[in-house]
């Protein structure tokens, strides 16, 4: 594999970037009915133009809009689907508290925010999970096609952690297989449309994560068909900069591991790899516990690590 001319690149990031203070204030005014939503696009446009310029200056070849047109990572996809309803201030009784991110939302200092609920899951609509999943997958494929027709060729999708539902009739392994099949169905797309998948371990208020540990139990099914892996070697949660040499060494260790498992040389394994922050900088409105300038320094560090390992490659 030669140096990539199209995504994925050696230096990537996960899409969400710290929002500037004026954009946060404007969106807060709209939420509090102090101004109208039609005041937002001009502010968003300026903020997006600025942050795209910053990404280009940092050496990133696949800039994003920072997710500045939404206030949370999930955007408006599910609320726009027929049969789904977005509600504010839902009753806590509808949630399963053993799910880590739900538990965090239910702590004393937080209340459930907007929640999107599928109202069309009675048995007369979908006989089983497979029928429901098939409809959701169709919606994803339609969305990808709309984006493709608009000119998009590089898409990113975040996958949250999986939890075994105590009311589910499947085992954890069976449920995992079901979700793999579901995601593969969702992500069918034109051949020249690149799709990057981010496995998220949580990116909640105050830079919190929800899960940790190795991928041993699911690694074979999850990773065996991947042809490119981007390693999240720089944290997006805290401002302290990682040591570049230490991060380069970690990538080399990962390449040795990949080489051993695939029967390749280390150099061949490195051709299938890139680096990035470990998550977005602002999955929620205010973002993580670092400043806008801290974020820029983190992006520069990701680029520097990539340049050390793959000099001259995008």
Domain layout of the chain by residue ranges = 1-70+226-314, 74-202
Count other C-beta atoms under 10 Å from residue 126's C-beta.
17
Predicted local distance difference test score (pLDDT) of residue 199: 85
DSSP class per residue in 175-186: HHHHHHHHHHHH
Alpha helix segments (H runs only) across the chain: 21-31, 40-57, 100-105, 129-149, 172-186, 219-223, 244-262, 266-270, 292-309
Least confidently predicted of 222-226, 273-277, 298-302: 222-226
Q: pLDDT digit string (tens) for 123-169?
A: 788 888 889 899 999 999 999 999 999 999 999 888 765 555 556 67
Arithmetic mean of pLDDT over the chain: 87
* pLDDT tens digits along 181-198: 999 999 999 999 999 988
In tens, the pLDDT along 12-48 reads 998 899 999 999 999 999 989 999 999 999 999 999 9
Read off the tokens for 43.
């502010």
Instruction: Give per-residue pLDDT as tens, 56-83.
Output: 999 999 999 999 998 887 777 888 888 8
Local confidence band at 91 (pLDDT 50, 70, 90 cut-offs) = confident
User: For residue 67, how many C-alpha atoms fall within 13 Å in the half-sphere facing its CB?
Assistant: 24
Of 76, 61, 65, 78, the C-alpha closest to 4 is 61
Backbone angles phi, psi at 46, to 5 degrees: -65, -45
pLDDT digits (tens, 9 = 90+) for 196-208: 988 888 787 778 7
What are φ and ψ of residue 261, in 5° steps?
-75, -25
Residues in the chain: 314
Is 109 a residue whose pLDDT tops 60? no
What contacts 146, CB < 8 A, 6 or more positions away? Answer: none
10 — pLDDT class (breaks 50, 70, 90): very high
Band of the pLDDT at 286, cuts 50, 70, 90? Answer: confident
- Pairing mode of beta strands 194-199, 273-277: unpaired
**Does residue 157 or residue 103 have the better pLDDT?**
157
Task: State the Cα angle at 275 between 272 and 280, rounded to 5°.
Answer: 130
Structure tokens at 241: 């900069």
92 pLDDT more than 80? no
pLDDT of residue 162: 52
Buried b / exposed e over 143-165, threshold 16 CB at 10 Å, is bbeeeeeeeeebbbebebeebee
Beta strands 84-87; 115-118: pairing state: antiparallel
Distance CA 307, CA 314 (A): 8
> According to the CATH classification, is domain 1-70+226-314 in 3.40.30.10?
no
């Amino acid at each position: 594999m030669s140096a990539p001319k199209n995504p994925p690149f050696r230096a990537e990031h996960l899409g969400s970037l710290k929002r500037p203070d004026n954009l946060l204030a404007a969106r807060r005014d709209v939420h509090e009915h102090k101004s109208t939503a039609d005041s937002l696009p001009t502010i968003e446009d300026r903020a997006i133009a600025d942050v795209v310029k910053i990404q280009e200056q940092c050496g990133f070849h696949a800039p994003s809009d920072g997710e500045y047109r939404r206030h949370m990572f999930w955007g408006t996809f599910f609320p726009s689907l027929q049969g789904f309803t977005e509600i504010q201030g839902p009753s806590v009784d509808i949630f399963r508290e053993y799910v880590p991110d739900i538990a965090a939302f239910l702590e004393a200092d937080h209340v459930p925010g907007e929640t999107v609920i599928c109202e069309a899951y009675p048995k007369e609509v979908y006989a089983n999970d497979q029928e429901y999943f098939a409809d959701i997958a169709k919606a994803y494929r339609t969305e990808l096609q709309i984006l493709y027709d608009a000119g998009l060729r590089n898409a990113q999708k975040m996958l949250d952690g999986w939890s075994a539902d105590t009311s589910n009739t499947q085992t954890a392994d069976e449920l995992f297989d079901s979700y793999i099949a579901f995601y593969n169905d969702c992500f069918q797309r034109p051949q020249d449309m690149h799709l990057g998948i981010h496995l998220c371990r949580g990116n909640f208020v105050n830079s919190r994560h929800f899960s940790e540990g190795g991928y041993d139990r699911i690694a074979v099914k999850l990773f065996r068909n991947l042809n490119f892996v981007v390693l999240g070697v720089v944290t997006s949660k805290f401002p302290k900069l990682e040591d570049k040499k230490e991060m380069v060494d970690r990538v080399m260790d990962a390449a040795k591991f990949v080489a051993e498992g695939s029967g390749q040389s280390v150099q061949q394994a490195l051709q299938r790899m890139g680096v990035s922050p470990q998550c977005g900088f602002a999955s929620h409105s205010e973002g993580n516990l670092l400043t806008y300038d801290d974020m820029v320094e983190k992006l520069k560090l990701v680029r520097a690590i990539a340049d050390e390992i793959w000099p001259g490659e995008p």
